[in-house]
A and B are shown apart, each in its own frame.
Chain A
Amino acid sequence: MKTNQSEELVKEPVKTDTKEAVIEITGLCKSFGGQEVLNNLSFKLFNGENLVVLGKSGSGKSVLIKCIVGLLKSDSGTIQVFNQDITKLTVKELGEVRQKIGFLFQSGALYDSMTVKENLEFPLRRMKEHVNQKEIDEKIKDVLENVGLADALDKMPSQLSGGMRKRISLARTIVVDPLIILYDEPTTGLDPVTSEEISLLINDVQKKYKTSSIIITHDIECARTTADRLIMLQDGQVYEKGSLNKFEKSTDELIMAFFK
């Protein structure tokens, strides 16, 4: 029964036969004080795929994607995003790369003092020059419909439930048409039903907007639903990588601990 259900949830893999890497990380190291969080980490994100990054709490998953958008400075290694090493860019160039990357924060990071509409307007106005109010309104209406919350326009974030907040944050992430989306624990703290809805939404976004995504999670159901490929972090390095099937059948203790 259980296996049946999970087989149903397994998505059809997106063909990544072109094998064109949109993000390529080599030898990434990052430590805080004396604590080494990432230690010689290397992997690639291919065009159009959903790459799930597994790892237990504190294994440096958030640190990893914050390094990718330059919110944290890496100690060494290269991070190529669309063939540009973001560790070597000027502030202005970094800003241009960031326009192509959407970031869904773990806590949602909705601006508490702004309405949903203002939250969505904020990145639009600041990242896209020369947009008029009509275009903005249409775009906002469009993404809110895509996340299934067209009527939340004038609500404050404090009036939203956890799942709704996640949806609005996702809407705010996709409103600027990113090519890459980094999801930081999109389903953590949600009930199983809502988690499933968010996971399916992630797949919808992938299909509709043709994005490549890194999905950080320790929620195995979310991984089953969304993953085209997985990697697992342990001790700041890639411990294992491969297809969902490979992970499910693994006899490694650390991996089995996730998939039991």
Chain B
Amino acid sequence: MKINIPVSKAKQLALHHTLKLSENTIAKTTMANNIITDFADVLLFIRLFIKETFSRKFEVREFFHQCFAIGYKSLPLVSVTGFIMGFVLTIQSRPALVSFGAVTMLPGMVAVSLIREMGPVITALICAGKIASGMGAELGSMKVTEQIEAMEVSSTHPMRFLVVTRVLAATFMIPLLILYADGLGIVGSWFGANIKGEVSLVLFFSQAFSHIGFVDLLPAVIKSFFFGAVIGLVGCYKGYNAGRGTESVGKAANSAVVLASLLVLVVDMIAVQITDML
């Protein structure tokens, strides 16, 4: 036993620190590397996606199957979301409009904000939560349990069969879901307005639509397509590139929701800038 414990302890500490330092720098460089390879992976994925989308063979049946899965099965969730959006918006903006003496503006105002912004963005976020995570989990578990490889050895291109169909289905169905949510939002708004005061639904709708023009609808619909594409691409990318263990399925689903939601907001920001410039 030696007595010079402090010295060895200092040494240990120093060693520990240098180790930690080098660990840190390694962690940083691998993180930078990861981001770069991640980005490269995404570009590769999109390139492959585009190539397979325009290949001659298209999996028609699977495409309609996915349209059904994405569109129809999201209806309850989107209905509730849309209704509540309209309802809340109406209840909250009513007092302000009353104080300006502009209650008659209510349906039009609600309709415009629903269709231009709230409907697309909130519905897309809800869909990111449901659809992107669903795709991430489904494709992720297919990857982990070798189902994707099984398809490949059965003369089926997994990118074509699984990814292209899902991304296109999301791109077409999510705009429809958004329009549907807009419609139910106006119904929700009518309910909200009817708590105080009596308006017929038909009158309410005609008042609402008299304020909506092509300029409100078109940019919203266009950006909805981008929301759909982003949600489908992110969900499929995360699932298709899941790791090799079971835990990577959960990771794929989770990171798909996070990234898809974030990208929906980014796309929205860009879309707003562009419509503003026009």
Chain A residues near B (Cβ < 8 Å)? 66, 69, 71, 95, 98-99, 101, 103, 105-113, 122-123, 126-127, 176
Whether a CB of chain A sits under 8 angstroms from the CB of B145 is yes
B153, CB-defined interface residue at 8 Å: yes
A122 touches B154 (CB 8 A): yes
Q: Which of B146-169 contact A (CB under 8 A)?
A: 146-147, 149-156
Task: Please give, as numbers and ranges, the residues of chain B lying within 8 Å of A108 by CB-CB distance.
Answer: 145
Chain A at the B interface: SS class: loop
A71 and B154 in contact, given A105-B146, A111-B147 (Cβ under 8 angstroms):
no
Does residue B42 face the partner (Cβ distance < 8 Å to A)? no
Q: Is the CB of A66 within 8 A of B155?
A: no
Is B149 in contact with A109, judged by CB distance below 8 angstroms? yes
Given A122-B154, A126-B155, A127-B154: A112 in contact with B146 (beta carbons within 8 A): no
Q: Is B141 in the interface zone, CB < 8 Å from A?
A: yes
The distance in angstroms between the C-alpha atoms of A99 and B156, with both chains bound, is: 12
Q: What are some 15 contacts across the A-B interface (CB < 8 A)? A: A71-B153, A95-B155, A98-B153, A98-B155, A108-B145, A110-B147, A111-B142, A111-B151, A112-B141, A113-B138, A122-B154, A126-B154, A126-B156, A127-B154, A127-B155
Chain B nearest CB, measured from A174 CB (Å)? 13
- B142/A103 in contact, CB under 8 A: no
Q: Which residues of B (91-147) have their CB < 8 Å from a CB of A?
A: 138, 141-142, 145-147
Q: Which residues of A contact B152 (CB under 8 A)?
A: 71
- Which of B138, B149, B155 is A105 in contact with, Cβ under 8 Å? B149
Report yes or no: A109 in contact with B155, Cβ–Cβ below 8 A: no
Q: Is the CB of A109 within 8 A of B154?
A: no
**Complex CA distance for A105 and B146, rounded to whole angstroms:** 7
